[in-house]
Amino acid sequence: MVIAIDGPAGSGKSTVAKLIAQRLGITFLNSGSFYRGITLCVLRASLDYRDQEAVLALAESLAMEYRQSRLVINGEDVEGLLHSDAVDALVSPVSAIVPLRHLVNRKIREIAQSISVVCEGRDMTTVVFPGADYKFYLDASSRARALRRFNQGVSSLSLEEIEESIQERDEKDKKKAEGALKIAPKAEYIDTSDLTLDEVCAIIVNKFTL
């Protein structure tokens, strides 16, 4: 079974997908982690992200595994390093590299071939699993999303700066040549701005029991 959830940064899709996966006892798969992990390696290698061939060659050389919903690259659990401001700033242009998207998509489909997953990202419902058993699009206002990130306490930016960077990233994500963020046909649209996590999960879980 594939449950696919898409939406912009801060819409709550990661947390919701994780909870749903826990409730159903299946694997949570965060597709953004792959783009973030590759971005981390680009930063570590001091590569110019605009050199698409070099970035792709680096990505192809990485052994990326997903163990218990955590990204492991070349044997190192990098999960705790994926949400720094440096990775945040670079991940959108890195994820816009088309052949790199194909590499990540192949990896994700390979993982979902043998197990049931709740996967989330930007193009899970449109490109990677258009025929998913269940498809959801989670949304929220940019202010609500910035506030959530601010309250995590992991960013050194002000609330206004976070909101600006979220809006910039949204724009870039929506304009991607491939894998642009959009609402898939037959996806259930949920605005989470004024909903609690439990309320969002309840809406989703209700779909399975109907």
What distance in Å separates the CA atoms of residue 182 and residue 136, rounded to the nearest whole number? 11
201-206 own/partner pairs: CB under 8 Å, 24+ apart? 201/16, 201/19, 201/20, 201/23, 204/16, 204/20, 204/134, 204/136, 205/20, 205/23
135 part of the interface to ligand DC, by CB under 6 A: no
Residue range at the interface with ligand DC (CB under 6 A); choices 32-40, 52-60, 143-151, 194-202: 32-40
CB of 91 or CB of 190, closer to ligand DC: 91
32 part of the interface to ligand DC, by CB under 6 A: yes
Among residue numbers 39 through 68, which ones bind ligand DC (CB under 6 A)? none
Give the shortest CB-152-to-ligand DC separation in angstroms: 12
Among left, alpha and beta (phi > 0; psi -120 to 50; other), residue 28 is beta
Binding mask 67-106 for ligand DC (x = CB under 6 A): ------------------------xx--x-----------
CB of 25 or CB of 80, closer to ligand DC: 80
Give the 3-state secondary structure of 161-188. Answer: HHHHHHHHHHHHHHCCCCCCCCCCCCCE
121 part of the interface to ligand DC, by CB under 6 A: yes
The whole-angstrom distance between residue 12's C-alpha and the CA centroid of its chain comes to: 11
18's tokens: 């994780």
Binding mask 166-195 for ligand DC (x = CB under 6 A): ---x---x-----x----------------
Residue range at the interface with ligand DC (CB under 6 A); choices 62-70, 117-125, 129-137, 155-163: 117-125
Q: What are phi and psi of 67, to 5 degrees?
A: -115, 120
Give the residue among 146, 203, 150, 196 at the shortest CA–CA distance from 9: 146
149 part of the interface to ligand DC, by CB under 6 A: no
Q: Which residues bind ligand DC (CB under 6 A)?
A: 9, 31-32, 35-36, 91-92, 95, 121-124, 169, 173, 179
